[in-house]
Structure 1
């Protein structure tokens, strides 16, 4: 078997411990990184925590069989390839499985060469192996949630489908849009961005569609709009949820007819533009209040990508902090080399209502104020206190405090719920409800 060009991470699922161990040993010896699960539900939990490239599952299992597991994987991790193994193989089962999208269906005892070929084929066709760091070089992450998002983005990048990116302010929606453009067939053409909530209605209309000479006071010459500027490439409509209602009708017409009519002109101009839009708003609520057109929503929301908040990818905070420090130091103070361990711990433990944008501000302030090559915890603390550009809501702050507190208590007690509840001043029933609210498992903290 030829080795894969990267150390692929496989998840093996089987309720037979001996077979699970044997297959794990074989695949580990072939150079794969292997994680095992004894049931479907356990596998789904691991997929939330680990960046998995391929799932190999037994078909006949208690609790959840292989096909039920596959269906859940497709809902939660679209595009992740799955190979199913069974001792009860039959042609109807295999046909049914492959029709549903299962990559491979092999019978036990599994032929070693057939299994290795199926793994190679699955990895070579999945987005994981073609993951090119170049197209997403501006996105720094090791978070399984973020890596899965990037895999989904890579899958849709090469098509011309319209993409709607959802995410809180400061999460990096434009950075993801640029990466999508970079990975697309339009990458050699322009990427043009505009914030739809930053301009008054008439100016936004002129910016998008252009205007003829004399179209309005001050229009002393003809001007192309951003649709024409982006022709052949990508137009990124940031904060689309803040676009004035009247302009939404005109945008819908452009998307339907693929033609744009400049202000004051009687002529339509054909355009070839891929649309990526983004918003921090809940567009479903906006539609219910008649603030956003339903027909436009469905035009824009062909593929939906949701960027997690920085608190949801907290494992990325030290990685991002060091990366941002290098960029800022190179620009302003080359003698600054690193953050102290205490400074990194303080950053990792902070709440980030402003997400990555807030982290950028904090790091830049630290670099600006330091006179030493190593950024101290004191300087980080000062920057965090002074960075009041974004204030979280009371509910968000309380939820984040609860999550951090519960993690700390479970870590101290090594996952002992009785001791943890006693430390928290709650009875076991209340404590279990708190854990469920924040999707925490005490077993994850046991040594």
Structure 2
């Protein structure tokens, strides 16, 4: 048996095909013909050798003799189509064996060639097969994208034109792998959009989040770029920064406008070169990552005022994505509110409260300065039976009083207890350790909030 033959390299864009022919001289001649026609050819003299290669590597067409020693061409056809029914396979047979060729066509072969044949006809037929394969893969990708869009609908909720446009842009941006700037007011869901861009991009790495305002200036550089031992006081061992951690994935820089100016130039260089150098080291480390930055301010205006680097702004603004505030898509409010009420009911182990037309009118009349985040908090208060606390209530004659501090504290305390009980499935010691309370205090608070350990010990949900 002849080992697989790798011929003269061709460009990466060349069609990748597999040749299976047990006549060594014809094998080599056909391989050379296909190579000269622009194909990247891997040749075998047996189906047994070709089968694992086709399974491991992506080939776009197969040319195989029907009469092979050991596994026949018909058997190879069946094995390959059992794994991928859309892979085009062209079979070769003697001119006087049309019956076997027709059987191969019934088994799903793309076409057959009778020996002897003209070499030009072989290359033409192979090009047609590759074109069909690429069209099939494009259709498959389209179906997968449509399935992804359906999943995205359950994450970025809303039927307004603004949300429909947002979902479409997120999918297109995700597929591009280009750096992206997400613009939106506080509470519009910029991090959620960044997570969707990452998840639907198919990146092999993970999403690494850096909340820029939360990092003190004196440790920002080490947090972003990493450091070597002794790079500064307290740097006892080497540490990879957020950029390295995002290798193969996405680095999300939330509120990038808060990044110190002197670090913006270093970040720009890393984005341009896709290389990072840790503090205390001269070694440059290659990183394959994508940047998604978010801000609630006008970075261009900030740049004009000298408070943000203009070159970094233009580098990030390749694919800008703007999230509309909730007041501009009020047709989404009712659906979102109902969803968040259901979610809160499940979280608090309650039956979801019913809404009324009056409540929905009140929600629609509000401007929602805190956007979706504020709406979610309002839904949670509604589910807990607390006043929803919208500003317009203060101007209405039948306004309900705002919740007292004690009521708010009690609500938060119950939520924390519920979350700890779920995480530890009612394990007293672990809950006390996490919350920093004694067992006596824990039992007292559970009783005050009507929570029972047995309900959580029997709950296997996460």
Q: How is 1:43-442 mapped onto 2 (pairs within 5 angstroms)?
A: 132-186=149-203, 188-370=204-386, 381=393
Q: TM (normalized to structure 1)? A: 0.54
Is the contact made by 2:178 and 2:290 (CA closer than 8 Å) also made in structure 1? yes
Aligned mates of 1:237, 1:281 — CA distance in 2: 14
Deviation at 1:180, TM superposition (A): 0.9
Secondary structure of 1:352's aligned partner: coil
Deviation at 1:185, TM superposition (A): 2.4
Structure 1: any 5+ residue segments left out of the alignment?
Answer: 1-120, 389-447
CA distance change for structure 1 residues 378 and 139 in 2, over 3 Å: closer, same or farther?
closer
Deviation at 1:217, TM superposition (A): 1.9
CA distance change for structure 1 residues 353 and 387 in 2, over 3 Å: closer, same or farther?
farther
CA distance change for structure 1 residues 145 and 289 in 2, over 3 Å: closer, same or farther?
same
Task: Determine which structure has more spread, i.e. the larger CA radius of gyration.
Answer: 2
Is the contact made by 1:165 and 1:278 (CA closer than 8 Å) also made in structure 2? yes
CA distance change for structure 1 residues 194 and 141 in 2, over 3 Å: closer, same or farther?
same
Aligned mates of 2:355, 2:401 — CA distance in 1: 15
Is the contact made by 2:378 and 2:389 (CA closer than 8 Å) also made in structure 1? no
CA distance change for structure 1 residues 195 and 128 in 2, over 3 Å: closer, same or farther?
same
Secondary structure of 2:221's aligned partner: helix
Q: Which runs of 4+ in 1 moved over 3 A?
A: 124-131, 375-388
357-366 vs 311-320, which moves further: 357-366
Aligned mates of 2:237, 2:165 — CA distance in 1: 48
CA distance change for structure 1 residues 219 and 380 in 2, over 3 Å: closer, same or farther?
farther
CA distance change for structure 1 residues 298 and 376 in 2, over 3 Å: closer, same or farther?
closer
Secondary structure of 1:132's aligned partner: helix
Secondary structure of 1:277's aligned partner: strand
Aligned mates of 1:354, 1:379 — CA distance in 2: 12
CA distance change for structure 1 residues 181 and 368 in 2, over 3 Å: closer, same or farther?
same
Aligned mates of 1:225, 1:128 — CA distance in 2: 33
Secondary structure of 2:288's aligned partner: coil
Secondary structure of 2:213's aligned partner: coil
Deviation at 1:289, TM superposition (A): 0.8
Secondary structure of 2:278's aligned partner: coil
Q: 2:88 — aligned with what?
A: none
Structure 2: any 5+ residue segments left out of the alignment?
Answer: 1-137, 394-398, 406-462
Secondary structure of 2:384's aligned partner: helix
Deviation at 1:355, TM superposition (A): 0.6
Per-residue CA distance 1:158-186 (angstroms, 9 max, x = gap): 12111111111111011111111111120
Per-residue CA distance 1:15-42 (angstroms, 9 max, x = gap): xxxxxxxxxxxxxxxxxxxxxxxxxxxx
Q: 1:417 — aligned with what?
A: none
Indicate the RMSD between aligned Cα atoms, in angstroms.
Answer: 3.1
Deviation at 1:146, TM superposition (A): 1.3
Q: 1:414 — aligned with what?
A: none
Q: How is 1:1-80 mapped onto 2 (pairs within 5 angstroms)?
A: none
Aligned mates of 1:257, 1:145 — CA distance in 2: 35
CA distance change for structure 1 residues 386 and 276 in 2, over 3 Å: closer, same or farther?
farther
331-340 vs 136-145, which moves further: 331-340
Aligned mates of 2:184, 2:303 — CA distance in 1: 18
Deviation at 1:131, TM superposition (A): 5.9
CA distance change for structure 1 residues 228 and 306 in 2, over 3 Å: closer, same or farther?
same
Deviation at 1:254, TM superposition (A): 0.5
Per-residue CA distance 1:250-275 (angstroms, 9 max, x = gap): 10111111111112222111101011
